Amino acid sequence: MGEKIVIFSGAGLSASSGISTFRDKDGLWEEHDINEICSAGCLDWNYENTINFYNKRREDIKDKLPNNAHKMISRLKAKYPNKIEVITQNVDDLLEKADCKDVLHLHGFLQELRCMSCNDIINIKYEVQDKGNSICTICGSKMRPNIVFFGEAAPKYETMYNILNNCDLLVVIGTSGNVIDVNHLSQYANKAILNNLEPSFAIYEECFDKIYYEDANTAYKKIEEDIEEYINS
């Protein structure tokens, strides 16, 4: 096993900051069929509605603030920059707002648009995608949100597994395990810690050495102590 500590997060990390997830009953996703605005091919036949949906999501994150868990991750990454790797399934920018460096966004990043032909990426921050930025300045093709839709390839997964090959401690925060099998990820590590709001049918407790069932915004102190203890042991 390697010596890296990998902090792997999902929607539960940002939940107490008020970020809508597609599993929320009253979130942005509730009004939409994910097959129409977040599945492979939807840009071909539902371009405008898809773009508008992600414009709303960008607006949704604009004023959201990082919570204690984001700040804890940022603190540890700053303190141990070569020891800690930060990987997230989230497309929001709350880790960046907490000044966390070198975050690997597995499923894309809401602030970015990507060319559908040459894959050039631009950052529009919280602006809307409109006629002024929807044409690639490199090749003239259409731009799209730089988000991995269901059914599309996720190129950053290869980077994730390369990092996990050197993982000693895996810390999983706020994911149901339905999109990425964290039971499998835990096998890369010598030790694994789980923090979720509640148990998930997709996660086997026996894969983890320590489990905290509570909001990441309150569990962060214990997680930070665990990581510090592990590094200094």
Where in the sequence numbering do the catalytic residues fall? 107
Distance in angstroms (rounded) separating the CA atoms of residues 112 and 91: 10
Element (H, E) at 6: strand 4-9
- Amino acid identity at 16: S
Distance of alpha carbon 204 from alpha carbon 145, whole angstroms:
34
**Can you tell me the distance from the alpha carbon of 212 to that of 72, in angstroms, rounded to the nearest whole number?**
16
The identity of residue 27, as a single letter, is G
Q: 15-20 long-range CB contacts below 8 Å, 24 or more apart? A: 15/174, 15/197, 15/215, 15/216, 16/67, 16/69, 16/215, 16/216, 16/217, 17/64, 17/65, 17/66, 17/67, 17/70, 17/94, 18/64, 19/60, 19/61, 19/64, 19/90, 19/92, 19/94, 20/57, 20/60
Residue 90 contacts residue 13 (beta carbons within 8 Å): yes
- Give the C-alpha separation, 20 to 176, whole Å: 15
Q: Do 69 and 97 meet the contact criterion of CB atoms below 8 Å apart?
A: no
